[in-house]
């Protein structure tokens, strides 16, 4: 393969890797019977993200579910506007446990299952979302 073609292919892959909705999941915070899971979202896509729906499950050290919820983390409500390109926002999942929390060793599993771009364009969330864990 021509070295120039190889270089341009590499650069194209690097540029498309940046075109994403980046989600950083911070460590779980526990307050009484409430579990708070902070998210930081940054739009690296060329168009606005009108709305995004995520599911959060909180697991204990044995992998048992302590609680779960699904919410619109971008859009979906008047106080949650669309996320413009190169903009960022935060969202806190708050899950109340029905039982007293016996452990502080909890982990959160986040899945963005619906991402709607400008003009109502529904996209494959697996293709545009990049999830990372924040440093503890």
Which domain CATH number covers 91?
A: 2.60.40.3230
Asked if the structure places residue 12 within a domain, the reply is no
Asked if the structure places residue 15 within a domain, the reply is no
- C-alpha 100/C-alpha 114 separation (Å) is 32
- C-alpha 73/C-alpha 51 separation (Å) is 7
Asked if the structure places residue 119 within a domain, the reply is yes
Asked if the structure places residue 7 within a domain, the reply is no
Q: Domain tally for the chain? A: 1
Strands (DSSP E) found in 1-136 = 21-25, 29-31, 34-43, 49-59, 65-74, 88-96, 107-117, 122-123, 129-133
- Domain extent, residue 37, equals 20-133
**Chain position carrying tokens 């003009």:** 119
Asked if the structure places residue 11 within a domain, the reply is no
How confident is the model at residue 47, as a pLDDT? Answer: 94
The string of pLDDT tens digits covering residues 83-135 is 999 999 999 999 998 777 877 889 999 999 999 999 999 999 989 999 999 88
- C-alpha 34/C-alpha 60 separation (Å) is 14
Asked if the structure places residue 107 within a domain, the reply is yes
pTM: 0.80
Asked if the structure places residue 113 within a domain, the reply is yes
């Amino acid at each position: 393969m021509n070295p120039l073609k190889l270089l341009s292919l590499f650069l194209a892959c690097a540029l498309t890797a940046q075109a994403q909705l980046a989600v950083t999941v911070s460590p779980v915070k526990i307050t009484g019977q409430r579990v708070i899971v902070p998210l930081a979202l940054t739009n690296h896509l060329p168009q606005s993200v009108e709305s995004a729906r995520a599911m959060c499950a909180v697991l204990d050290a044995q992998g048992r579910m302590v609680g779960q919820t699904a919410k619109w983390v971008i859009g979906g409500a008047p106080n949650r506007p669309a996320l413009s390109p190169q903009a960022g926002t935060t969202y806190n999942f708050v899950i109340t446990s029905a039982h007293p929390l016996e452990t502080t060793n909890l982990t959160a599993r986040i899945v963005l299952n619906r991402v709607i771009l400008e003009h109502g364009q529904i996209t494959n969330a697996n293709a545009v979302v990049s999830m990372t864990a924040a440093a503890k």
